[in-house]
Structure 1
Amino acid sequence: MNSSSVTLLASGNSLGAYIPAMHLYTYLQSKGVGTEVHVLENLYHEEVRHKIRFTKQAFHADFSFARMGHKLAKPVDSSLDEVAVERLLNRWKGSGVSRFAVFTGFWLPILERYKAAVGGRLDIRLIRLDAWDTPSFKVHKQLYPSYDNVWFYEPSKLSPGSYIASNEAEPLPYAQRAGRILIHGGGWGIGTYAGTISELRKLGHGLDVIVYDPSEVAEDDGFTRYFGTEASWDPWRRDTQGRHTFPPMIRYIREDGVLREFPLGDYSAYTSLMRNCAAVISKPGGATLNDSLSFGIPFVMLEPFGDHELHNAAYWESCGFGIRFAEWEAQGFSEHHLEGICRRLLEHRSKINHFGRIIYAAENSSYV
């Protein structure tokens, strides 16, 4: 790896710190930029990784417990396998790695060690896809100010300057979309999303629901579709070619109480749902804000998870790119209002560029 290559530092603990990294990886690869993804959990002790799945299940089952866990976030130093960390640092040093895009603050102590070891100029950009500190950055407030913090959603500007996607395909005009509503609870399937499904089903809306667990799949009604990710997939695992991958998607259909699974191949099955939907309903996570902007999707926002998502909701609402679920409900679930939001998103999206095109596919760089 040479100095023009980019190392993307992600985390599987939150798909919000993984999926955008994978989008940037895919985009840069298509532009001929040498790129590699590292997932923090690969540096954890094995027993710590085993606990993550159980924590996800607990957070999914109880949103109040998830919010409490969010408040107790702390540095991950005790979870790290020192041998694995040293091996990675030596590999970077030997390869002359100097350019990083960092999607979670939990990488910062490791980067501090690397900076001390190489003593040279490094291009390290902290990718901030929220309008406020997430827990991973909040616990490292003493470190991150010395880095190049790339805030996508600067509250004082109310005008996102770029987006991250796997390509630069233009969003579909609203009238050309299938008109279905996409509902999900983020990578951990948390929040109040499940409570919206029955109400919208009664109104006859076509719904595409991303479930966390197949037990959430209801009997087929002809207009509600259910999807999920392959249960055995973990973000920190690599494929047979040694690469990290997008989560493989599955469609579920339950008929006469029998659940059937239909593998959908690569992640384009999910991006196709986003590209064609009339709105997305979810908690206001940063990665979903990015999806909203990338694909021109009106964002109907549910109860936030933590202070950063509270700020995300206020920011997106102020930009005119989203509406809170309670307000949309008070408006009688107005499609006309969604179309207006989409128009504003598409207008803004037409004025900005892909982050990778602005920063990495060009020859400019800055250093810390």
Structure 2
Amino acid sequence: MIEVLTSGVALGVHVPGLLLSDRLRERNTPVRVTVLERLLPPAKLATTTAMKVAFHRDFRVALTGQRIATNPVEAVPGDRLDELFADWSIWRPHRFVVFSGYWLPVVARYIDQHRQPAHVVVCHVDSVASPSFKDSTAYPGERVWLADAERVSTPATIPVSRTPQLPWADRDRTLLLHGGGWGMGTYRDHLGALVAAGYTLDVIAHERADATVDDPAVRYHLIDPDWQPWTDDGYPPLGRLRPGIPTDFVRGAGHHPSFDLTRVAMAVVSKPGGGTLLDSLWSATPLVLLEPFGDHERRNGDLWRRLGFGIAFDEWRDQGYPSEALARAHNALRGAARRVPDLTEQLTSGL
């Protein structure tokens, strides 16, 4: 039995946790996903939700907020941890897969208090330790990296989809623009220039007010504003946003629905979050790299450029937004995912 531990404030690690659980279920392995924020009191969750809106609306606020972020475990009531530990004592997971470093002291306390033998796998989605893993070396566990900035490699991976990668010749002149799970970054600043360069744009929206450009070449796709990972076990529902027409939200089956937009695009224009790297790898869709959210995303972007999988937005803009540069990155990505060891196989070997 495997317990996958994620955090809903970082969909770039929560969604890979959901993907891993789906791949494990396909192998008939018992698995659960537990989201850290489900332990928090309502007042703290309300603050988190307000931060999500503020960070989406102003990237400068997000960058400042990242520097002063605190460990959410400090706000978890003791009785909620007692309930969780009692549940684990019944469930008796033999492996914990930790996607957020904030979980590590919780798991260590449980193992120590309950004397339960369990193997801890620390899964880094980013290419260097992200902020939640700042103090992770104090806790035992097997380290797994989905991307590694130091070794310039992708040492392990989680399959996003088994659907074959779409050949370059079959892709329309379309770009996907997004800002990760919270819609952060500068991606909305470049719509006019990219349309003028002859591209059709799919843009991920987080509020209906995000649809600011009235142009048939710009298509908005809204993540259900009422969806929260700490109240819903599935992937973020996504629906086409059209003026005057109710949005029909679609849930992903086996993967997040935004991946279906990623796999048909010529490129994704986004900040380089860890989950975005994973989508790029499995779709063979290159990244056009915008301003990162913190040093770990800066290192992610550097890695993707060094591997030939992406290009900095400013460099691409200065070249005149050529599709040929994207084609070269696509060719470097093509088939690369299936040459990387599958974390699912590693976790299920010997079971």
Q: Same fold (TM over 0.5)?
A: yes
What do residues 63-97 of structure 1 show as CA deviations (whole Å, max 9, x unaligned)?
12211111112222331022111111111123322
Taking the TM superposition and a 5 Å limit, the aligned residue runs for 1:290-309 are: 290-309=278-297
Aligned to 1:247: 236
Percent identity, please. Answer: 32
Aligned to 2:157: 163
Q: Residue 143 and residue 315 in structure 1: after superposition, are their counterparts in 2 closer, same or farther (change >3 A)?
A: same
SS of structure 2 residue aligned to 1:175? helix
Matched AA of 2:245: R
What do residues 205-245 of structure 1 show as CA deviations (whole Å, max 9, x unaligned)?
1110001211111354222210021111110113xxxxx11
SS of structure 1 residue aligned to 2:306? helix
CA distance in 2, matches of 1:322, 1:231: 30
Segment drifting more, 69-78 vs 25-34: 69-78
Q: Residue 48 and residue 102 in structure 1: after superposition, are their counterparts in 2 closer, same or farther (change >3 A)?
A: same
Aligned partner (choices 261, 273, 277) of residue 246 of structure 2? 261
What do residues 175-194 of structure 1 show as CA deviations (whole Å, max 9, x unaligned)?
12233100001111111111
Aligned partner (choices 200, 207, 228) of residue 206 of structure 1? 200
CA distance in 1, matches of 2:293, 2:318: 23
Aligned to 2:186: 192
SS of structure 1 residue aligned to 2:34? strand
Aligned partner (choices 218, 243, 247) of residue 212 of structure 2? 218
Decide whether the 8 Å contact of 1:168 with 1:354 is kept in 2. no
Taking the TM superposition and a 5 Å limit, the aligned residue runs for 1:112-191 are: 112-138=108-134, 140-144=135-139, 146-191=140-185
Decide whether the 8 Å contact of 1:27 with 1:167 is kept in 2. no
SS of structure 2 residue aligned to 1:323? strand
Aligned to 1:26: 22
Aligned to 1:70: 66
SS of structure 2 residue aligned to 1:52? helix
Give 1:350 deviation, angstroms: 3.7
Matched AA of 1:127: C
Aligned partner (choices 328, 331, 338) of residue 340 of structure 1? 328
CA distance in 2, matches of 1:120, 1:54: 38
Instruction: Please tell me the root mean square deviation across aligned C-alpha atoms, in Å.
Output: 1.7
Segment drifting more, 191-200 vs 172-181: 172-181
Aligned to 1:228: 222
Aligned length, in residue pairs: 348
Q: Please, what TM-score do these two structures have when normalized by structure 1?
A: 0.90
Give 1:197 deviation, angstroms: 1.1
What do residues 299-353 of structure 1 show as CA deviations (whole Å, max 9, x unaligned)?
1010011111111111111111111100111111111110110111114224224
Give 1:142 deviation, angstroms: 4.8
Decide whether the 8 Å contact of 2:234 with 2:251 is kept in 1. no
Q: Please, what TM-score do these two structures have when normalized by structure 2?
A: 0.94
Q: Residue 76 and residue 305 in structure 1: after superposition, are their counterparts in 2 closer, same or farther (change >3 A)?
A: same
Matched AA of 1:170: P
Matched AA of 2:156: S
- Large movers: runs of 4+ above 6 Å: none
Matched AA of 1:14: A
5+ residue gaps, structure 1: 239-243
5+ residue gaps, structure 2: none
Aligned to 1:362: 349
CA distance in 2, matches of 1:297, 1:261: 30
